[in-house]
Amino acid sequence: MDLSKYIRDISTGVIEIAIEKDKRVLGNGSAFLAGDGLITNSHVIRPPGNFDAFRIRFSDGQTQIRLLPKDFYGALAAESPASSFDFAYVRIDEPELQRRYRFDLGSSEKVELGNEVLFLGFPFGMPQLTVHRGYVSSIHSQDGRDIIQIDGSVNGGNSGGPLIDLKSRQVVGIVTRAVTGIVEQEFDNLISALAQNVEVLGNTKTVIQVGGIDPIQGLRASQSAMQQIAQNLKRSANVGIGYAFAIDPVKAEMNCA
């Protein structure tokens, strides 16, 4: 198998989805083309807070589409929330999507321990598509979901990308998250608390200044810096293990939609 040629072929069907507010990127994830639309994680398209646009970008770095939330959500054909199967299937037929690779959906039932897999995406919001090669290290069920554990480095931004079984060349899962080796909820709580502090301090009017310095705004700047550090620490705490949810529920919904 000419793996390099195969990757070149399928790369045209992999997408970055960025969440924008005032043309500033608030977060990103990955997606891929299948059927007559795209597939990604539900949590990728349901960010916290306000935003004003979805930006869809392809691996060539040039082709971009911007959609208003109402238009994007209006094209949503099937979805399962992050607390369940964590997928979204969006029917969009923009001209930029034509003549691109469409992935074939397989089944996790044929996946075995040790199977070699590929996953593609845009970790950390990188401008270029990134390809990882790994192995299936575990297959298990949790809360009614079939989960494929990957011996490969999944990072923020990989969420929503395709997990491909190299033997069948079919998508068998949607990359969902990494194992960080830390208590992830504690980091999320810290980041949330710092964000609230920054917002409160930003709305506080200083009554006095010390030596011509506004102590409130100085504190706000330090809290903002700590928030960024906490986010970077969470992102970098990667133990080289990732999870993908089985593609089967998505395939079933697409057949019914």
- Report how many domains make up the chain: 2
Nearest to 42 by CA among 85, 13, 92: 85
pLDDT of 239: 45
Please work out, in degrees rounded to the nearest 5, the angle formed at the alpha carbon of residue 75 by the alpha carbons of 72 and 77: 130
Does residue 43 have an active-site annotation? yes
177 backbone dihedrals φ, ψ, rounded to 5°? -165, 170
Whether 72 is in a domain gets the answer yes
Q: Which domain holds residue 196?
A: 184-236
Of the residues 97, 128, 162, the one at which a domain ends? 97
Query: Which stretch of DSSP H or E encloses residue 215?
Result: helix 215-236
pLDDT of 180: 46
Whether 179 is in a domain gets the answer no
Q: Give the Cβ contact number of residue 229 at 10 Å.
A: 12
What is the Cα–Cα distance from 152 to 132, expressed in whole angstroms? 7
pLDDT of 139: 93
Nearest to 41 by CA among 78, 86, 91, 80: 86
Whether 90 is in a domain gets the answer yes
pLDDT of 60: 81
Angle between helices 184-202 and 215-236 (to 10 degrees): 160
pLDDT averaged per 10 residues in sequence order, the chain, 257 residues: 89 94 89 95 90 91 88 96 94 88 94 93 85 91 90 83 95 79 57 69 60 61 67 54 91 82
Whether 213 is in a domain gets the answer yes
- Active-site position among 30, 43, 59, 80: 43
- Active-site position among 86, 108, 146, 165: 86
Of the residues 72, 97, 122, the one at which a domain ends? 97
Please work out, in degrees rounded to the nearest 5, the angle formed at the alpha carbon of residue 59 by the alpha carbons of 55 and 64: 30
Does residue 159 have an active-site annotation? yes
CATH number for the domain spanning 20: value is 2.40.10.10
Whether 70 is in a domain gets the answer yes
Of the residues 97, 112, 147, the one at which a domain ends? 97
Whether 178 is in a domain gets the answer no
Whether 177 is in a domain gets the answer no
Whether 251 is in a domain gets the answer no
